[in-house]
Amino acid sequence: MARPKYKNRLLTIPSMRKKCNTCGSIKEVQHRLIVVPKDIPKTKKFKDYVDIPNVVIENYCSVECSGDEFINNYEPEDFYQG
């Protein structure tokens, strides 16, 4: 049986240089915050997040510039079911 082809899959972060939203320097993008609205059209297929209307994309050069969004604050007790 042949494997399915994922032609309509959204792209990952390519290796690119963009302006950091926090420090303003132009560096390679290490982290990207993408905020997608809830009312996107379901019938239309998009190749990349940039093509979706009203999407907010923020590029960051490091974890220090990105702030607390990319820091894992979980404790082992958070995963216990009791």
Residue type at position 9? R
Decide if 34 contacts 11 (C-beta within 8 A): no
62 in a structural domain: yes
* Domain assignment of residue 31, yes or no: yes
CA distance 74 to 55: 28
Question: Residue 21 sits in which domain range?
Answer: 17-69
Each residue's pLDDT, cut to its tens digit, for the chain (82 residues) gives 666 666 666 556 667 899 999 899 999 988 888 888 888 877 788 877 788 888 898 999 888 888 877 777 788 888 877 6
Note the pTM of the prediction, 2 decimals.
0.63
Cα 50 from Cα 30, distance rounded (Å): 17
Residue 55 is assigned to a structural domain of this protein: yes
Query: Per the domain annotation, does 47 fall within a domain?
Result: yes
Task: Give me the number of domains the chain comprises.
Answer: 1
